[in-house]
Amino acid sequence: MLFVSASGYAKTAPSGSKSSSKAAQGPQPISGPVSGETYVVRKGDSLIKIARENQTTAKALKAANGLKGSKIKAGQKLVIPGSQVAAAAKDAGKPKTKSAINEELAAQYISQLRSENEVSDLESQPTRLRLVEAGFKLLGVRYRRGGSGKTGFDCSGLVKSLFSEFNIDLPRSSREQYKQGEEVDRDKLEVGDLVFFSSGGTRPTHVGIYVGDDKFIHAAVKARKVIVSDLNKIWYTMRYLGARRIADLWWDDTETAPEEP
């Protein structure tokens, strides 16, 4: 429990009020610090000491009070930031981890995808958009030749794994995946279509999933992880082979499911 006389908190009240009378009688117990609470600096205080007593940080105190340095003097009033302010100030100078960066990227892509397709929540989205969102959440997962799990993917393994999440069974290799569905022209690509590339000849050696805005998500060998790339980059333009649309991914974009064979 903190006390006014011990912590240096100053509570102002009208002269002659009941609270002023109580303050004159002796220290009164108060609850823990909240955002905007005022602390009166005492002799011997330092920012670090005040921060420790009030469960915040010196950096947060500086930010909340517009202090450029660490010098304070007795009688000076300081605003004690709330826990959220303190946490933000504490983390402000920390470099972001790869995981945090990937999460931010995923959130950015997902938000853009929902906005462009005029849907606000996961449940109202068609399967192909939910599949792409699931792909965004794998951004940064490492590339692993032959991999098809969250510990690592190669390009066709990523595609197969994502489609499997939505009960759509695709072959394992990009060559076999290229034989699935129907062919789609480059200028008619839609979210969820598979895009294929070849490093030479007419057989695909790489595959990704189109996410809109001339972008696709894939497990990239050179980047050694799952990333989003631009179809208009010269490497992909020169090696672009074609695209395929998997009908099963589109059934709930219409009001009827595909007919049974």
230 noted as active-site residue: no
- Which of 218, 225, 244, 245 is the catalytic position? 218
> Is 189 found in the same domain as 88?
no
pLDDT of the residue at 173: 96
pLDDT of the residue at 82: 66
pLDDT digits (tens, 9 = 90+) for 35-59: 457 889 998 898 888 888 887 888 8
pLDDT digits (tens, 9 = 90+) for 109-164: 888 887 777 776 666 788 999 999 999 999 999 999 998 887 899 999 999 999 99
> Is 36 found in the same domain as 77?
yes
pLDDT of the residue at 123: 65
Comparing 66 with 257, the larger pLDDT belongs to: 66
Check pLDDT > 70 for residue 27. no
**d(C-alpha 236, C-alpha 240), whole Å:** 6
> Is 114 found in the same domain as 212?
yes
> Is 111 found in the same domain as 83?
no
> Is 67 found in the same domain as 8?
yes
The tokens describing 176, both together, are 């076999």
Q: Which domain holds residue 242?
A: 98-253
155 noted as active-site residue: yes
Is the CB of residue 56 less than 8 Å from the CB of residue 87? no
**Closest alpha carbon to 229 in 163, 155, 176:** 155
> Is 229 found in the same domain as 152?
yes
Taking the complete model, does pTM exceed 0.95, yes or no? no
> Is 226 found in the same domain as 111?
yes
pLDDT of the residue at 87: 54
Q: Structurally, how many domains does the chain consist of?
A: 2
- Which of 128, 130, 160, 206 is the catalytic position? 206
Name the phi and psi angles at 2, rounded to 5.
-100, 150
At 116, which helix (H) or strand (E)? helix 98-116
> Is 111 found in the same domain as 77?
no
pLDDT of the residue at 62: 85
Q: For residue 29, what are the β-bridge partners?
A: 3
State percent of the chain over pLDDT 70.
76
> Is 109 found in the same domain as 224?
yes
pLDDT digits (tens, 9 = 90+) for 71-100: 898 999 888 876 445 455 555 556 777 778
Split at pLDDT 50, 70, 90, the class of 238 is very high
pLDDT digits (tens, 9 = 90+) for 150-200: 789 999 999 999 999 999 999 999 999 999 999 999 999 999 999 999 998
pLDDT of the residue at 7: 39
- Which of 51, 132, 155, 194 is the catalytic position? 155
Within-domain flag for 68: yes
> Is 243 found in the same domain as 128?
yes
